[in-house]
Amino acid sequence: MIQAVGQCLYVRPYVDDFSVMWLAESTAVLTAGAMILMYIGEVLNELKLGNGTSLLIFANIVSSLPSSIGQTVEQSKTDGNGAFTLAVFFGAFLLSTLGVVYVQEAERKIPMQYSTKFNSQGAGLSKSSYLPFKVNSAGVMPIIFSSSLMALPATLARFTDNGAVTSVAKFIYPGGAGYIPVNVALICFFNYFYTFLQLDPKDVAEQLKRQGASIPGVRPGKNTREYITRVLERLSLLGSLFLGFLALTPGGVEKLTGLQTFRGFAGTSLLILVGVATDCARKVKSELVMQKYSTSIEDFYKK
């Protein structure tokens, strides 16, 4: 409701009959629309097709692709090197997609030693005994946090005439002198923060100790916590560099080709598309495997 009020106040200069009643009605409509979308998302969750809200965002992004591609082709016709521009543009898009898929699926597998999982010959550990850490475990959240904070000065500048706020907004606005360094710095910070928020090394080390598991060559307890912290720090650095490069790629391609039709389709949208697509594929595969069993898990436990 607060966000709906903010949206209505943002479009106030373009509303001829602005009043308290119009504000209340528009806020109610926007809030009701959000609740309907939440309901549809829950229905999609019940159908076991993946995260319902993510699927709705996925559909929204995909629905804009045909018009964006058409506008890109039309805009390239006005350029003398239209074929070369299109080749560079869609080549960068394809390479970015492949890079996102590769990094999103990349894992750092730490071998684990369980007291009850040695093979019968005593020749070593089971092949499945490892602790996986995603290279980009934070996903798209650091980019979202960074873009939200960088948009805050511009939003405040619309409601105030303060010169300092206006100067900061121009400094970190796309094209400004501080846009790239501030954006990359915020992405690195939030990626590091979000990674350790999801995976607390102390908690992971304690869980491994309770399960009777240990990392070969590393003593349980404090040493395991320090080892996991060191691994996560390196992974968060790699993930931050990847996210920073992905966030800056659309701007670089735009300067190189002069095409602005995909300005709204940034690296964030690409991460969402890949993440939702891979998640849905896993969910569908697991459901297909479960259909091969004659008894469902619920019926099994009831019996």
Domains by residue range for the chain, with CATH: 83-302 (1.10.3370.10)
Q: Which residue has the higher pLDDT, 195 or 268?
A: 195
Cα distances from 286 to residues 48, 49, 111, 232, 275, in angstroms, run 10, 11, 25, 29, 17
Of 139 and 63, more confident: 63
Q: Are 3 and 10 in contact (CB under 8 A)?
A: no
Residue 40's pLDDT is 93
The mean predicted confidence, pLDDT, of the chain is 80
- Give the pLDDT of residue 125: 47
Q: What is the pLDDT of residues 90-99, one digit of tens each?
A: 888 888 888 8
Instruction: For the chain, give the secondary structure using H, E and C.
Output: CHHHHHHHHHCHHHCCCCCHHHHHHHHHHHHHHHHHHHHHHHHHHHCCCCCHHHHHHHHHHHHCHHHHHHHHHHHHHCCCCHHHHHHHHHHHHHHHHHHHHHHHHCEEEEECEECCCECCCCCCECCCCEEEEECCCCCCHHHHHHHHHHHHHHHHHHHCCCHHHHHHHHHCCCCCCCHHHHHHHHHHHHHHHHHHHHCCHHHHHHHHHHCCEECCCCCCCHHHHHHHHHHHHHHHHHHHHHHHHHHHHHHHHHHHHCCCCCCCCCHHHHHHHHHHHHHHHHHHHHHHHHCCCCCCHHHHHHC
pLDDT at 290: 77
Mean pLDDT of 54-73: 83
CA dist., res. 240 & res. 250, Å (int): 17
What pLDDT is attached to residue 267?
A: 63
Q: How confident is the model at residue 303 (pLDDT cuts 50, 70, 90)?
A: low
pLDDT over 70, % of the chain: 88
The two three-digit tokens of residue 16, written as one number = 């001829």
Note the pLDDT of residue 36.
Answer: 95
pLDDT tens, position by position, 242-293: 877 877 777 777 777 776 665 555 566 777 788 788 878 888 888 788 777 7
Task: Report pLDDT digits (tens) over 198-251.
Answer: 888 888 888 888 888 888 888 888 888 899 889 988 888 888 888 778 777 777
